[in-house]
Amino acid sequence: MYFGACYYPEHWPEERWETDARLMKEAHFNVVRMAEFAWSRLESSDGEFDFSWLDRIMSIMEHYGIKTILGTPTAGPPKWLMDKHPGIYQQDMYERMRGFGARRHYCFNNLDFRMYTERIVTQMASHYGTNTNVIGWQIDNEFGMIDTARCYCSSCRQSFIGWLQRKYGSIEAVNEAWGTVFSSQTYRTWDELHLPAYAVHQHHNPGLALDYRRFSSDSVNEYQRLQVNILRHYTTGQSITHNAMGKYNQVDFYDMSKELDLISLDVYPNMKSEPKERPAYAAEQHDMTRGFKGGRNYWVLEHQSGAPGAVEMAPTPIPGELRRWTFQSVARGADAIVYFRWRTLPYAIEELWHGILQHHGEPGRKFEEVKQVGVELKKLAPLLTGTSPCAKVALIRCYNNEWAFELQPHMKGYEYIKHFEMYYAYFYDRGIPVDIVSPEADFTGYELVVAPNLMMAKEESVQALYRFVEDGGYFITDIRTGAKEWNNQITQKRLPGQFRDLLGIGIEDYGIIEGEQRIGIHNLNNGKISSATMWYEVIDLLAVESAAEPMAVYTSNYFRETPAVTRRAYGKGCGVYIGTILDKEGLNSIMDQIVSEAGITPILDGLPDGVEAMVRVGTDDSGRKLLFIINHTEDVVTVNLDTTYTDAMSDRSVSGAIVLASQDVRILCVQR
């Protein structure tokens, strides 16, 4: 278990460094992250490298038993480089240059920038690649942050044309895929191709626009691969990672993670506006990150330690809150906690982004809380080793479908990710762990797979879902499933397209539900009446063996009494289709029925509102299980345990009802 903070020695006088290292040792730190924004200190002028200052701080850290995670500094190209090669700057969709003054101001496809990237990373890797104090490398910083993955410059246009040539082979195939016969948009040669930049209106051909998003994501991955290959060549026994951003969607993090040893996360729970939503919001970021590498544990390389904020501050963590957020991270699979940041900077854009120490640099309340966590993690480390979260539910998030709904939301105000989060909230509220996975994931071992808005799917994914249900799994999907081909053209098959045989239904008609209008939904199992908004589909039950049956019907409009939700037995399993957007009560009612049938149960029954339970299970045959119970409320709560445990901190046996104070956390082990 790694425990530490992001440290920026270049921001502080050198005579302060040892004081910081000594305090970190007191807080039981064993790692720091450094240098990810230090390009101008590492290469102050073109070709003039200086690693001596970094050598000195690493030596001090080594003296106090603290290892280093090094960041490649490419997220902040220095001014001398940008002045020498201004073509490196990104351009926005209006062809305006995004100039100097922040970070992430470079184009991934600019060849000059790639050359300078290769040089600085090679210099660092050859210098530190066999240094035993370096345990890992973070490549760049937060790919796709603040709308920086998509550039519209001439370098990108040329790279995009090359990408299309490799994908399609001929300009005729591009025209066919995009349907360019519409509005005389047919391209005769590769040179006529363009980026989906500023035009008469911003609704470009959806095939072109989706391919551009795919290309931009691939450009990030290719740029990362450049750095990975250099690090692989020079390093020995050092992990390679990148600090992803959970919900950010400009990069397909499933693809990006494939070449990394592990993935990492930057998480700031208090940046969510509503306090009651913050626990689920943070949990979702952790579950997404774990899913980027197929359910594997990960590192947190920036963990909130104070009030976040650049020009406006988010709420300051109250006493106990840092500990609570930290153990939520650990419970959901984090094997490293690196707080951002060690000390709050008194200048520049992050002078309001608070760290463990305030601007004055003296230990205070947050330092004492972090020190307590350090003591607890040190004791927990042997128990945590070889454990990870375990879920029986897979929730599919697909970047390609998310991008397609960004381009064509279908409904005013509709967002793929908000719809996805309705399902996530269901499982979170009921204390049922989920894995958030790619459509191309291995579904072996799951009992339920939920796929919101699976409008496009590759044939391999479709067949995998058929096999999953045939072998006994439960599958839930909903509106627009199967409606498009992978090229973003509407399918000419009767909906739900590729999934018609699995679900046993046909979509006769569909449309939007306007404004504040509601359509009644009658649950045939329990008689409850709920409502639907935004979208409806008129469902026919196909006359096939083991026919689909309605679970709920509409109560109004011309399609009243027709199915709104259906289920069909298929093989040993079951396929469920939700043909509208149910309100929370209606969705929960349907989900409760299916989850019960699938035999899926919460970690603990009867948890009070605002209390989270999560388990980490041994990946060996030892039967180890750690139960984390986290009180996210400001109230004292009582939790009823299901069996006898050992408290990991006190080593005492506990059973029955236990009491948690406000912000409190309990970590319990299965008693053996």
| C-beta of residue 69 within 8 angstroms of C-beta of residue 137 | yes
Q: Does one domain contain both 265 and 334?
A: yes
Q: Does one domain contain both 529 and 582?
A: yes
Distance CA 338, CA 67 (A): 12
Of 571, 597, 623, the last residue of a domain is 597
Distance CA 657, CA 640 (A): 4
Q: Would you state the structure tokens that stand for residue 635, as one six-digit string?
A: 């109230």
**CA 600 to each of CA 441, 473, 593: distance values in angstroms, whole numbers, following the listed order:** 20, 12, 11
Q: Does one domain contain both 549 and 624?
A: no
Told to judge if 516 belongs to the known catalytic residues of this protein, a careful annotator would answer no
Looking up residue 537, the CATH number of its domain turns out to be: 3.40.50.880
Q: Does one domain contain both 122 and 237?
A: yes
- Looking at the domain assignment, is residue 240 inside a domain? yes
Q: Does one domain contain both 460 and 348?
A: no
| C-beta of residue 255 within 8 angstroms of C-beta of residue 152 | no
Q: Does one domain contain both 445 and 556?
A: yes
| C-beta of residue 338 within 8 angstroms of C-beta of residue 69 | yes
Q: Which residues contact 267 (CB under 8 A, 6 or more apart)?
A: 246, 282, 285, 286, 300, 302, 303, 304, 325, 329
Of 563, 597, 631, the last residue of a domain is 597
DSSP state of 179: T
DSSP assignment of 339-383, as one string? EE-SB--SSSTTTTS--SB-TT----HHHHHHHHHHHHHHHHHHH
Q: Does one domain contain both 357 and 416?
A: no
Q: Does one domain contain both 617 and 569?
A: no
pLDDT at 671: 62
- Looking at the domain assignment, is residue 166 inside a domain? no
- Looking at the domain assignment, is residue 419 inside a domain? yes
Distance CA 157, CA 110 (A): 11
pLDDT along the chain (672 residues), means of 10: 98 98 98 98 98 98 98 97 97 91 93 98 98 98 93 97 98 98 96 92 91 98 98 97 94 97 97 90 98 97 95 95 98 98 96 97 98 98 95 98 98 97 98 98 97 98 98 98 98 97 96 94 96 97 86 96 97 98 98 98 96 93 90 97 95 96 96 62
- Give the residue among 573, 554, 556 at the shortest CA–CA distance from 564: 554
Q: Does one domain contain both 287 and 414?
A: no
Give the pairing type, strands 474-478 and 434-437: unpaired
Looking up residue 111, the CATH number of its domain turns out to be: 3.20.20.80
- Looking at the domain assignment, is residue 149 inside a domain? no
pLDDT at 620: 78
Q: How many CA atoms lie within 13 A of 74 on its CB side?
A: 31
pLDDT at 523: 97
Strand, helix or coil for residue 508 = strand
Selected catalytic residue, list 36, 43, 142, 537: 142
Q: Does one domain contain both 592 and 665?
A: no
| C-beta of residue 135 within 8 angstroms of C-beta of residue 31 | yes
pLDDT at 544: 76
Strands (E), 465-504: 474-478
Full domain range(s) for residue 496: 393-597
Phi, psi of 193 (to 5 degrees): -70, 150
Selected catalytic residue, list 302, 321, 421, 485: 302
Identify the H or E element spanning 298: strand 298-304
pLDDT at 44: 97
Burial class, 566, CB count within 10 angstroms (exposed 0-12 / middle 13-18 / buried 19+): buried
Looking up residue 631, the CATH number of its domain turns out to be: 2.60.40.1180
Q: Would you state the structure tokens that stand for residue 584, as one six-digit string?
A: 């929370």
Told to judge if 142 belongs to the known catalytic residues of this protein, a careful annotator would answer yes
Amino acid found at 399: Y
| C-beta of residue 121 within 8 angstroms of C-beta of residue 75 | no
- Looking at the domain assignment, is residue 99 inside a domain? yes
Number of domains in the chain: 3
- Looking at the domain assignment, is residue 275 inside a domain? yes
Give the pairing type, strands 387-388 and 611-618: antiparallel
CA dihedral 459, 438, 238, 381 (to 10 degrees): -140
Q: pLDDT tens, 448-502?
A: 999 999 999 999 999 999 999 999 999 999 999 999 999 999 999 999 999 999 9
- Looking at the domain assignment, is residue 199 inside a domain? no
- Read off the pTM: 0.97
CA dihedral 116, 122, 127, 129 (to 10 degrees): 140
pLDDT over 70, % of the chain: 100
Q: Would you state the structure tokens that stand for residue 197, as one six-digit string?
A: 């930049």
DSSP assignment of 226-285, as one string? HHHHHHHHH-SS-EEE-EE-TT--SS-HHHHHTTSSS-EEEE-GGGSSSGGGHHHHHHHH
Burial class, 306, CB count within 10 angstroms (exposed 0-12 / middle 13-18 / buried 19+): buried
β partners of residue 394: 435, 449
- Looking at the domain assignment, is residue 189 inside a domain? no
Q: Does one domain contain both 324 and 229?
A: yes
pLDDT at 200: 76
Q: Does one domain contain both 336 and 448?
A: no
